[in-house]
Amino acid sequence: MRARLALLVAATTVLVLLAFLVPIALLLRQVAHEQAMNRANAVVQAIVPIAGGDVRALGLAVTTTAVPVTVFLPDGTPVGAPATVTPAVRLAAAGRQALTVATGDGRELVVPVVGETGTLVVRAVVTNAELGRGVSRAWLTLAGLGIALLLVGLVVADRLARTIVAPITQLSEVSHRLAGAELTARAAPAGPPELREVAGALNHLAGRIQDLLAAERERVADLSHRLRTPLTALRLEAESLRNPDEAARVASAADGVARAVTAVIRQARREVSAATARCDATAVVAGRVAFWRVLAEDTGRAVTESLPDNPLPVAVAPDDLAAALDALLGNVFAHTPDETPFSVTLTSRPAGGAVLTVADSGPGFPPSAARRGSSGGDSTGLGLDIAGQIATTIDISGGPTGAVVTLELAGP
């Protein structure tokens, strides 16, 4: 935009300068011509009174003039600057009237003088150099003035363009920050009234989005909080079971659901910054695999676990990583037959972070599995979406012979 405004101002300035400077340049040339002719006419008028007198005095007067002057006597003899009789001289002598004739070398001014012995003709020549004296300098001055005015116009246009472009750039930056979930970003109203109005509308939109997300988080937290009552009842029912193993298993499942509900409440009421969230992926994955191993033994599933021996820090909150792994393993148990083996692999990334892979030998994923809310079975279809939210990239592969989900986790 700055370049276009500068080009527009430059074109407008050039047109205005041409409209003013070209007539002024022509006028200056005309004035220079008139001044040169006036000087020559003054010299001729000074020679005319003495043209019919003494020839010696006339010759002395003619040789001291500022412009070349020749006096042609009645017999054609020239006095003064050497010259030949021209058609203009003959015409002036015959018609006895002053003439101004343009020639290739300039302008010729002839004035007839009637004397006692006949008609004399006083001839003065104004060369092209005399006619254009000072014109080139004046034109260069006008050109310099025009260039200076053009540069001043471009500087003013650039400053004006900055006052317009800077607020637009700021609005673009704020919109990108809002798109990056930085809901506290606001635009400072600046520039023309229209841009200030746009900045106010963008700030209002950001505030409205923030209010709606806050209300949504509160509704999710309230809904999760309401689940605690039936969970408490389920825990009491588990404690009343006669079989201690079944009671422990149901109570453990109820505790897991309670922990998940608590995590949902905390996540809904606070935002975890990606810059501060971190955990030991080895410890979290090991803990969740141990939790699911009990259910895998009950359903006859073989579990293959491959974890590094050392801690593996990642830029993910521990609750989020546990929820993602639970979602993936929950899909394995929900959508594969009993006795279907699965594996959990955790490796480090060369650039920092980790790679988490969950694979099974089940029927595989339907083509729509990667879309949020899509599922090939009786489920909400949000499991893979939950897992994908913590990963920089998620890869879903596999066919009828099994499925493989790979999550790449960023390093802290």
Q: What is the pLDDT of residue 375?
A: 45
The span from the CA of 245 to the CA of 251, in Å, is 10
On whether the pTM is more than 0.85, the answer is no
Quick check: 130 and 106 in contact, CB under 8 A?
yes
Name the strand (E) or helix (H) holding 404.
strand 402-409
Give 401 or 315, the one with higher predicted confidence. Answer: 315
The 10s digit of each residue's pLDDT in 87-141 is 888 888 887 788 888 888 888 888 888 877 778 888 888 888 888 888 889 999 9
| Whether pLDDT at 63 is above 60 | yes
Task: Enumerate the domain spans of the chain.
Answer: 2-133, 137-225, 227-271, 273-409
Q: What is the mean pLDDT of residues 189-210?
A: 86
| Whether pLDDT at 175 is above 80 | yes
For the domain spanning 273-409, the CATH number is 3.30.565.10
The span from the CA of 153 to the CA of 14, in Å, is 10
| Whether pLDDT at 333 is above 60 | yes
Q: 332: closest CA among 322, 343, 323? A: 343
| Whether pLDDT at 174 is above 80 | yes
Helix, strand, coil percentages in the chain from 3-state DSSP, rounded to 5: 55, 15, 30
The 10s digit of each residue's pLDDT in 349-380 is 888 889 999 998 877 665 555 443 444 444 43
Q: What is the pLDDT of residue 120?
A: 85
Give 381 or 85, the one with higher predicted confidence. Answer: 85
Quick check: 402 and 357 in contact, CB under 8 A?
no
Give 388 or 80, the one with higher predicted confidence. Answer: 80
Q: Which CATH number fits domain 2-133: 3.10.20.30, 3.60.10.10, 3.40.50.300, 3.30.450.160?
A: 3.30.450.160
Radius of gyration of the chain (CA): 51
Q: What is the pLDDT of residue 381?
A: 45
